[in-house]
Structures are given as C-alpha cells and as structure tokens.
Amino acid sequence: MDYNSHTDGIVRVAVALVNALTPGEQRGREFPVPDDLAVAASGAVGSVYSGHHGIGAADAAELAEVAARLRVVFRAVADGDVDAAAMATNALLEESRARPMLERHDGEPWHLHFHGPGGSVAGDWAASCSTGLAIVLGSEFSDRLGVCTAPHCDRVYVDVSRNGTRRFCSTACQNRVKTAAFRARTKAE
C-alpha cells in the first residue's frame, strides 16, 4: 500500500497486537488468552519493530483491552460495515487522545509518531494503532482490513497485495482451505 512506511508499521503492529492478545481461534485451533501478556505484547510489537523495548505487565494488560477494541474495527470492515468501523475507530481516537509529533531517531528521517496523553507505552500504542487504522479507513484502501475466512480461524490481517484479494491470515490457513477443497473434489469424483 502507499502509506508512508511508519503508517504501514503501526497498522502492522495493530494486526500483531490483535492476533497476539485477543482470544478466539487460530489456524484451526482454539487460541486462548496468552499466559503471559507481557511476553505476547512484546513479541507482537517486536515482530514489526525489532529494536523496541519490552512491554511490562501493566502496559500489556492495558494493550489487551485496546486489542479487543481494535478487533472490532477489523470485524466491522470484514462484515462490510465501514460505518461501524469508522465509529469504533473514532471512539478509540478520542479515548487515546492521539497526538501527532514529528520525531527523528535511529538514523531515520523525520516521521510522525502518535502519543497518548499519559506518556505510557500502552497509551502511545493505543494512540498509534487507532491513528493507523483511521488512516487506512480514511483512504481508498478502507476495505483492506480483514478477518481470516478459513474455518476455525479469526486472526486478522491487513491486505497489502496489489489486487486486494487477500482472504486469509496466513499461508497456513490458505493451504488448509486449498487442501480441504481438493479433498472434497477428489471425494466427489
């Protein structure tokens, strides 16, 4: 997609946080609440920003609540209800009081960060993720947020493919569905 790279990054963090912190199903199996939210949250952010500092238990617990709210946005878009997605995102933006600030670090050029009011790690990620989803929803790519359509999987994704034809959270789920369709076909023949 053609957002700037930092926006891409924070949208990917939103995806990673929802997938790591919200219970449900993943690739055909039950996905429980993680035993250690701090490890799960740190891993999610670290999967996008490898240089980030670990997330502590209190921030991780707060992020789990934020992640549940972010999931609502993906679900609404997947259900074709962009109005509901926009309203849920606006509520998050208002609560996280996202504040843009140009920053320059680690040899990168100036780029926009989004902060919450409290200076907490969770508050900053809540502000960043809400803003990232708001930018997607406010663009021509508003339908690019999705929930995996494979059976027994509800992990989310952002579709950055050129054609916007992604339907699964992972190649694992894509292959599961392909294999099932193939079996059904051979059985029928």
Please give the single-letter amino acid code of residue 7. Answer: T
Q: How many CB atoms lie within 10 A of CB 121?
A: 21
State yes or no: residue 169 binds Zn ion (CB under 5 A).
yes
State yes or no: residue 20 binds Zn ion (CB under 5 A).
no
Q: What is the DSSP letter of 146?
A: E
Rounded distance between C-alpha atoms, residue 7 and residue 157, angstroms: 15
Distance of closest approach, residue 8 Cβ to Zn ion, in angstroms: 21
With CB under 5 A as the contact rule, the residue among 148, 156, 157, 158 that binds Zn ion is 148
Q: In terms of CB distance, is 70 or 134 closer to Zn ion?
A: 70
What does the per-residue mask of binding to Zn ion show for 102-121, with x meaning CB under 5 A?
--------------------
Span from 7-15, 86-94, 134-142, 147-155 in contact with Zn ion (CB under 5 A): 147-155
Rounded distance between C-alpha atoms, residue 23 and residue 30, angstroms: 8
State yes or no: residue 18 binds Zn ion (CB under 5 A).
no
Q: In terms of CB distance, is 125 or 168 closer to Zn ion?
A: 168
Hey, what are 29's tokens?
């199996």
Distance of closest approach, residue 26 Cβ to Zn ion, in angstroms: 7
State yes or no: residue 153 binds Zn ion (CB under 5 A).
yes
State yes or no: residue 150 binds Zn ion (CB under 5 A).
yes
Span from 66-74, 92-100, 138-146, 161-169 in contact with Zn ion (CB under 5 A): 161-169
Helix H or strand E encompassing 158: strand 156-158
State yes or no: residue 147 binds Zn ion (CB under 5 A).
no
Rounded distance between C-alpha atoms, residue 92 and residue 56, angstroms: 22
- Which one, of 9, 12, 17, 30, lies nearest residue 154 by Cα? 30
- Which one, of 29, 11, 1, 14, lies nearest residue 150 by Cα? 29
Distance of closest approach, residue 148 Cβ to Zn ion, in angstroms: 3
State yes or no: residue 16 binds Zn ion (CB under 5 A).
no
Alpha helices in 24-168 (DSSP H): 37-46, 57-78, 82-96, 121-137
Residues that bind Zn ion (CB under 5 A): 148, 150, 153, 155, 169, 173
